[in-house]
Each structure stands twice: as C-alpha cells, then as structure tokens.
Structure 1
Amino acid sequence: MSSPLAIGAVSAVLRNLLDNGMIEAGPAVGGTVNVSAVAPDTIDLTGAEELPRLNLFLYQVTPNPVWRNRALPSRSASSGERLTNAPLALDLHYLLTAYARVDCQAEILLGYGMHLLHERPVLDRAAVQRALNPNPLDIAMLPPAFQALAAADLADQAELIKITPSVMGPEEMSRLWAAIQSHYRPSAAYVVSVVLIEAIKPAVSPLPVLSRGIVDPVTKRDRGVVVNPDMLPPLPTLFAATPQLKQAGVRLGEPVVLTGIRLSGSNHRVRLAHPLFPVALELVPDAPNTDGTELTLTLPNDAAAQASLAPGQWSLTLRFLPAGEVNERETNAIALIIAPAPVITADASLSLPAATVLRKTAPLRVTATLFSRPQVQPRQRASLVLGTTEAAANPRAAATDPLVFDLPSTLPAGAYPVRLRVDGVDSLLLDLSGDAPAFDASQSLSVPT
C-alpha cells in the first residue's frame, strides 16, 4: 500500500509523463512548453516571456466506490489494540488545461496532452518508479517536495493507477472555474483511480486454523465442518427475554423466560452487564427444556440484588458447556429490561420505609419521597409520574439515598396512579393477569390536602 504522500506522487508522475511527452513532441507544439501541476488562479500569462503551459490541477478527491466497502480501521473493544490497517481508497479528479498566447497553440497543447494520457491509460509500476526515482540523477538535486515523494511507495500498492477521461458538462465546468476564480481555458477532465493509502501501525494478524471443531484425543483429527439441516443459527443463540405476563420489564424476584436455539448443555450461567457496573453479574438459571430452546431465570430479590442491580436496560448473555463439546460457549447478547419498583408500602426484608407525600408551604410544593427496588444509581435519570404530572428527581450523592421529587403545589389532593421512570424504563403500572388490562391498585400514592 501507499503512504499519505501518494496523492502528491500521482500528480508528480502525471506531470512527468506530460513533460516527457512535450519534450519529445518538440517543434510540433511550438517550442518549449512549461508543464506544471498548480492551481489555475496562480498562473499568470501577462508576462511577455511567459512560455505556453500545460497545467494539471487536482480539483477533487472522492472515496473509491469499490474499495470503500472494505473494513474500516478497527480496534479491540476490550484492550483498545489496533486490529486492522484498512486502506483509505481514493479517486483523484484532475483538470488538464492548456495556456497559450498564440492562435491555436492552446488547442495543440491540449490535443497532445490528451493523446499522451490516452496512450498511457494504466501507469505500470516501472513507470511510477522511474518518475519518482529519476536515476541516474541524484535525487538530492530535486526540490524538497519532490524528494519526499520518493517515499510514497506508490509503485508498491496492490492496484495499478488507471487514467480515465471524465465527462464534465458546461454547467459543472462553469461552476468549477467560477470557484477557482480564474478565466476559463480549454480543459479536459480525468479520473485517476485508485490510490490506496494505508497506515503502517502494528496490527493483529490471526494464525492459521489448525482444527475445525472438536479434536479426537486418540486420532488427533478434528471433527470437521458440522452441517445442521435447518435454517437456524449454527451456534447457541438467544432470541428474546420475555417477562411474566408479557410485561414491558421484569422486577426483582420475578421470572423471565429466555428463548433461543441450541441451548442444551450444562453449567448454565446468565451474565448481566450494564455500563454503570464495571463487572458483569452472574446468575444461575433453571435447566433448559429438552429441546434446548427455553430456560427460565428468576431475578433475586435480596439486599445483594438491591445493590448490584439497577433499573434500565441490561445486556444479557448465556454461558454454558454445550452437549458433546469440551469448551464453553457464550451466546449473543440480548436486552433485558429491569423495571423499577417504587417502594410504596414498607419493605421489612430490605429495611425500606414506605413512600411519603407531603404538601409544603415554604416554598409551595408537593414533595414525594420514596425508595426503589433495585436502587437507582446517582448517574441515572429518574422521574416520578403521578397521574399525568411528571417531576424529575432531585440530585443525590449515593444510591442508598431516597428519591425526592418536587411536584407543583397546584396538584389537587387525591389518589394517583404512580409510575417511577428510570432511564426511560417505567415501573409496571398495568395488571395483565386478568382478561383485560387494568391499573394495578397497589401502584398508587395519595396527595394530601
């Protein structure tokens, strides 16, 4: 692959190609011709001794549509180690312009320049090497910018440089020259593809595969490729985590059904991960059914779970030893929604007091104070909804502190359905055990007069 100097190296190679062609053309182009690769607005032909000029201008750089589908530079999610050095693939858009002060000379120069590029649609590696390392000349004699281009490694990239004429309509050409802020001259557009720029930073390259599947301890031969006669995933896969009664979330102490495929085995452990907890929590589920498609996990409801879990969305994976294998596997991750449960009546097992709602006069407000199962972390966003009135929780220093909400003093007295919302996850207000959904009578708070 090439280095970041490759863009400048392509311009230098094309300029060298045109320059050599103008020298060989000699008298046919009217004498000495200056070949350059600068912006058109920097060219001045007002001088009496100014030579005719053929200029190559890089006016646009675009991603290559084929190579851009390759992987981007990636890093390990765990260690941050660089894994790949994916190339930056670019197409270079050039404008070939002829300048002259004599009748028809600009047209002659443009014709010769276009013919030279037509005859060399592909720049082979030898031509690129000769242009950037002009032996037997001492490269130290050249300008510093050109000396640096010798290290571009353009000749070593996987793709050859291809030159293709590009159609540019009058409107597009007019906008381009207006942006350049220069007078229009006879021009032709070209696309040069593809330049591959790749970093040379250390990466990770996997070792060759020695075996596929289980290795027989006697013959030392691998099991080979295993074919499953179905359209299901070939590896243990989880599909969904469904709370009881198909509620929106699961509360502490409640079961959740995990459904998937190829879950048969032993030593099953459920791993729960959350951004606010650096270490994943492991829980032991019930044994899967005989088909290996379903198993049940019951969330604990004790003091340890109160502190080690939090309301919100968790990432759930299942780790176990599949039947007939010697190495454990871990499934894909699915979402588990743990719903907050506002402690409305006192919970003696967790030593949590009942919720209180007070109407205060200095200043005028209604203040609700309550705890949640599990605890709400200080970094989580919590709000309380009484009926249709919502209030955000006051800042707290620790997860063990109660949640305090200041509601408007205009809130009328009476009993209100209560919802505790944490990071967008609501407590369970609906009772889905009957024939039709209804509000859970236990999920209400009374506002005093």
Structure 2
Amino acid sequence: MSTYAAIAGTCEAVVRLLRCNYDPTKFNGAMLDFQVYVANDFTTPMEEGVSVFLYRIYQNGTHRTPTGRLLPDGTRQATMLPLDLHFLLTAWAKKASLQNEIAGWMMRVMEDNAILPASMLNAYQPNVFRPDEAVDLTFTELSVEDMFRVWETMIGHVYQLSVPYQARMLEIESLVSIPPEGRPVQGRTSDIRLIST
C-alpha cells in the first residue's frame, strides 16, 4: 500500500542495495558506479559498474483488484493498483573478465537480498511505503529475441551483458476515497410478536 512514488523508490532501492554491498577490494580496487538509467544514458554509459533500467511495467495478474485501505474517518480508499516492475541490471566494464565478475557479484547480491524492506525502499523518499511493506525481487523470463529488441529499439546501442529482474506486487494506493455507504449502527430494537394460528 505505497504511494505513487513507489516505482522510483524501488529502482533507487536496488541501486542502494548494490552500493551498500560493494567492496572495492573484491574488484582489485575498481571504483564501480551504480545508477538508475533512462534510454539516453546508454549512449554515454558509465565506465565500470551496474545500471538499473526499468523497461516495462505490468499490472500484477494474480492480485487484480486489491481493496483500498479503510481510513480512520470511515472512508475507504479506491481500489489499489498492483504492479510488477521489469528491469535490466547491466554490468559495465571495459574488460570482459571484469564485466563477467560484476555480473556474477550483482546476481549473488540480488539473490541474497530477494526481499527489499520498507526501510530501504523509503531511503529515496520517506513514507512512500508503510513500515510492514516489502517488495520481492526475482529473476524473470526474457527471451534472447526480446532482450535484443530492447537493446535495438529502446536503446539503440551495442548489446551489454544484462540480467532481467522483476519487482513484484507494488500496491499503489489511490488518492481518491469513497464515502461510507451508510451510517454506523447506533442501537438495536427487538420486535417480538405472537403469531396467531
């Protein structure tokens, strides 16, 4: 039950996760960079590091219409919007050996931290996610043809080693509230009568 900033918060949380787990001594002192990319960034990419590129957003198919949250004043928020984010993690380096090493490391970090807690998700902007919320990170399917289509049509650049991931079940709350249907029950009255035969 997050706000509309949840998409940006999730992408930034993935960058923060990688940055927090980075130790230069494991890469012979290489200074890796970690950034969220848009398509234009691929024309002048970083020297060494990992980019997060959000390329697709789908409505979550398993939880189509989650009800809105009941507010303290008795109104209910409109139906939440359940989303799945699809993004590419791209390993950047001039040498193939370092690029492959970065790819293996980033995949291991993602596997070790498959659930992003609210504390990390809210680092980008406070109070986007409720304290009990989390986002699941998993590998996702992307065919070789689809992968190259992303690089050719959306990015227009030479292919770089990339791994597709999915952030599942972001539930974005509505800003619209629905008034209660009726007034709360104030009291009960009984009407017991004898039925004659």
Q: Same fold (TM over 0.5)?
A: yes
Q: Which amino acid aligns with 1:29?
A: F
Query: Matched residue of 2:25: which SS?
Result: helix
Whether the 8 Å contact between 2:138 and 2:167 is mirrored in structure 1 is: yes
Query: Matched residue of 1:4: which SS?
Result: coil
> What CA distance in whole angstroms lies between the structure 2 residues aligned with 1:94 and 1:190?
5
Q: Which amino acid aligns with 2:81?
A: L
Q: Provide closer, same or farther for how the CA distance between residues 103 and 164 of structure 1 changes in structure 2, counting only shifts above 3 A.
A: closer
Query: Matched residue of 2:56: which SS?
Result: strand
Query: Matched residue of 1:69: which SS?
Result: coil
- Quote the residue 1:5 is aligned against: 5
- Quote the residue 1:116 is aligned against: 109
2:56 aligned with 1:63, yes or no? no
- Quote the residue 1:164 is aligned against: 138
Offset, 1:67: 2.4
Bigger proportion of residues as strand? 1
After superposition, where does 1:392-411 map in structure 2 within 5 Å?
none
Query: Matched residue of 2:164: which SS?
Result: strand
Query: Matched residue of 1:68: which SS?
Result: coil
> What CA distance in whole angstroms lies between the structure 1 residues aligned with 2:80 and 2:53?
24
- Quote the residue 1:146 is aligned against: none
After superposition, where does 1:28-43 map in structure 2 within 5 Å?
28-30=26-28, 31-43=30-42
Whether the 8 Å contact between 1:2 and 1:157 is mirrored in structure 2 is: no
> What CA distance in whole angstroms lies between the structure 1 residues aligned with 2:26 and 2:87?
25
Q: Which amino acid aligns with 1:170?
A: V
- Quote the residue 1:88 is aligned against: 81
> What CA distance in whole angstroms lies between the structure 1 residues aligned with 2:133 and 2:62?
12
Residue deviations 1:88-112 (CA, integer Å, cap 9, x gap): 1110001000111123111111111
Offset, 1:84: 4.4
Whether the 8 Å contact between 2:56 and 2:87 is mirrored in structure 1 is: yes
> What CA distance in whole angstroms lies between the structure 2 residues aligned with 1:182 and 1:210?
67
After superposition, where does 1:46-445 map in structure 2 within 5 Å?
51-70=47-66, 84-129=77-122, 131-132=123-124, 149-151=125-127, 153-154=128-129, 156=130, 159-179=133-153, 180-205=155-180, 215-217=189-191
Q: How large is the RMSD of aligned CA atoms in angstroms?
A: 2.7
Whether the 8 Å contact between 2:89 and 2:164 is mirrored in structure 1 is: yes
Q: Highest CA radius of gyration, 1 or 2? A: 1
Query: Matched residue of 2:178: which SS?
Result: coil
Instruction: State, as a whole percentage, how many aligned pairs show the same letter.
Output: 21
Bigger proportion of residues as helix? 2
Q: TM-score of the superposition, structure 1-length normalised?
A: 0.37
> What CA distance in whole angstroms lies between the structure 2 residues aligned with 1:158 and 1:16?
20
- Quote the residue 1:15 is aligned against: 15
Q: Any unmatched runs of 5+ in structure 2?
A: 69-74
Offset, 1:205: 3.4
Q: TM-score of the superposition, structure 2-length normalised?
A: 0.80
Q: Which amino acid aligns with 2:160?
A: R
> What CA distance in whole angstroms lies between the structure 2 residues aligned with 1:210 and 1:68?
35
Q: Which amino acid aligns with 2:156?
A: Q
Whether the 8 Å contact between 1:87 and 1:199 is mirrored in structure 2 is: yes
Offset, 1:159: 4.6
Residue deviations 1:31-60 (CA, integer Å, cap 9, x gap): 210101112542325xxxx63121010000
Query: Matched residue of 1:104: which SS?
Result: helix
* Count of residues in correspondence between the two structures: 183
> What CA distance in whole angstroms lies between the structure 1 residues aligned with 2:132 and 2:25?
39
> What CA distance in whole angstroms lies between the structure 2 residues aligned with 1:162 and 1:17?
13
Residue deviations 1:381-417 (CA, integer Å, cap 9, x gap): xxxxxxxxxxxxxxxxxxxxxxxxxxxxxxxxxxxxx
> What CA distance in whole angstroms lies between the structure 2 residues aligned with 1:178 and 1:169?
14
- Quote the residue 1:258 is aligned against: none
Offset, 1:71: 5.8
> What CA distance in whole angstroms lies between the structure 2 residues aligned with 1:209 and 1:61?
43
Query: Matched residue of 2:3: which SS?
Result: coil
Whether the 8 Å contact between 1:92 and 1:192 is mirrored in structure 2 is: yes
Query: Matched residue of 2:96: which SS?
Result: coil
> What CA distance in whole angstroms lies between the structure 2 residues aligned with 1:57 and 1:201?
30
Q: Report 1 or 2 for greater relative contact order, CA contacts < 8 Å, sequence distance ≥ 6.
A: 2
Q: Which amino acid aligns with 2:41?
A: T
Offset, 1:191: 0.6
Whether the 8 Å contact between 1:41 and 1:181 is mirrored in structure 2 is: no
Q: Provide closer, same or farther for how the CA distance between residues 193 and 209 of structure 1 changes in structure 2, counting only shifts above 3 A.
A: farther
